[in-house]
Amino acid sequence: MALLHQATLSPTKLQLVTDYLDSMPWGGTGDIEMIGGYRFDDPAGEVGVEALLVARDDRVLHIPLTYRGAPLAGASEYLVSTMSHSALGDRWVYEAAADPVAIACFTRALRGEQPQAALELRSADGTVAPLDPPIRVRTEGEAAGTALAFSDDLAAPAAGSAWLVAEWDGGSGVVAALR
C-alpha cells in the first residue's frame, strides 16, 4: 500500500521532471503535461518507487524514480535531485534504473510476482482515503530473461519477453521489459 501524504514538495514533481528532462538528450523541449504515475511497494517500506508519465513534444515520456530518506551509496551520478517533503523531510530522488530496490520491484512485477501498489492519501488532518491510480499497469508475455529495460519514450518501447504495459485515459504503452 503506497501511502501518499498531502504535503508540500520543493521542488514540485513537475519542476523536478522538467529539470531532469531538460538535462537528458532524449528529453525534448517545451511545456510538459503530467499524465500521472504508478507505484510499487518496497517490501522493506523504506524506498518510494514511482514512475511518472508526461507528455512533451507530442511524445509520452516515462520517468521511473525512487525517493529515499538518505543518499544511495555509490549512486551520485544517478541523483536526479534532492527534495524537501513537508511530511517526510529531505528526500534524495534517483533514476530507478540505478536503484536496486526499484530494479527488484520492476523485475518482480514483470514476473507477475508484485502488483502495482494500491494508493492511499493521508490528509493533513490525519484521515486516510483510497485513491484510484491515474495509471494502471499490467504484465504481458512470459519473463524468460533477467535484464530489465525501461522505455524512456513510449514511441520506442523496450523490447523483451515480458512487458509492463501502462494504461491511462487516452493511451497506453510499454514502460518496461524483461529480456
Q: Distance (Å, rounded) from C-alpha 65 to C-alpha 102?
A: 8
Binned at pLDDT 50, 70 and 90, residue 118 comes out as confident
Closest by Cα among 5, 40, 63 to 136: 40
> 19: helix, coil or strand?
helix
Model pLDDT, residue 88? 64
Model pLDDT, residue 3? 47
Model pLDDT, residue 100? 97
> 106: helix, coil or strand?
helix
> 12: helix, coil or strand?
coil
Binned at pLDDT 50, 70 and 90, residue 102 comes out as very high
Model pLDDT, residue 5? 45
Cβ-Cβ contacts under 8 Å for 115 (sequence gap 6 or more):
109
**Regarding predicted confidence, which is higher, 122 or 2?**
122
Backbone angles phi, psi at 89, to 5 degrees: 90, -155
Binned at pLDDT 50, 70 and 90, residue 108 comes out as very high
pLDDT digits (tens, 9 = 90+) for 123-176: 677 777 777 888 999 999 998 888 999 999 999 999 999 999 999 999 999 999
Average pLDDT estimate for 13-39: 94
Model pLDDT, residue 7? 54
Cβ–Cβ under 8 Å, residues 97 and 75: no
The residue ranges of every structural domain in the chain are 2-131
Longest Cα–Cα distance of the chain, Å, equals 47
Q: Supply 110's cell numbers.
A: 514483470
Model pLDDT, residue 10? 62
pLDDT digits (tens, 9 = 90+) for 42-101: 999 899 999 999 999 999 999 999 999 999 999 999 999 999 866 666 989 999 999 999
